Amino acid sequence: MHMRTVEISVGAFVLAGALALVFLAVKVSGVNLSQSSDSYVVQARFDDVAGLRPRAKVSMAGVTVGRVARIEVDMEYGEAIVYLEIQGQPGNLSLDTGAQILTEGILGARYVSLLPGADVETLADGDLIEETQGALVLENLVGDLITRLGAS
């Protein structure tokens, strides 16, 4: 009887550990299991989105306010069009809001950071963010430095 209680206790402990690991994996991955309908999509055009992926976070002042919905290429202009799904109702971002692609830490993931503007008019669903700054690619900087050092 005592052995059976120990086996049930160990089984319950292993099950609780497995559930804790699943919960932790979901939290770390950034997967949102609840489908919130309180969001809208705005577009931003970037010259370079190196390393940015769909579902990357969109933040303002360090707080996550949305996710990258999808990324497309405009073949006519050679730019990337990034669709940003912003939480909340339209009207919380001014028309002159800026967007830039940043890196979390030195080798971290890419994300979009929104820079608030001061315009009275606000972005609506489907609007375009005009002021953007693409990703800073370390390989390009190193290549430019080597080229300049070789030329002098």
What is the pTM for the complete model shown? 0.71
Domains of the chain: which residue ranges? Answer: 1-31, 39-142
Give the Cα separation of 120 and 103 in Å (integer). 30
Please tell me the predicted confidence (pLDDT) of residue 34.
Answer: 59
* Strand ordering across the sheet containing 39-46: 128-129, 39-46, 79-87, 63-74, 57-60, 110-115, 98-103, 131-133
Say which DSSP state 122 is in.
Answer: B
What are 105-119's pLDDT values in tens digits?
Answer: 777 789 999 998 888
Q: Report whether pLDDT(61) > 70.
A: yes
* Residue that wins the pLDDT comparison between 113 and 138: 113
* Residue that wins the pLDDT comparison between 64 and 137: 64
Q: Report whether pLDDT(32) > 70.
A: no
Give the Cα separation of 147 and 152 in Å (integer). 9
* Residue that wins the pLDDT comparison between 42 and 38: 42
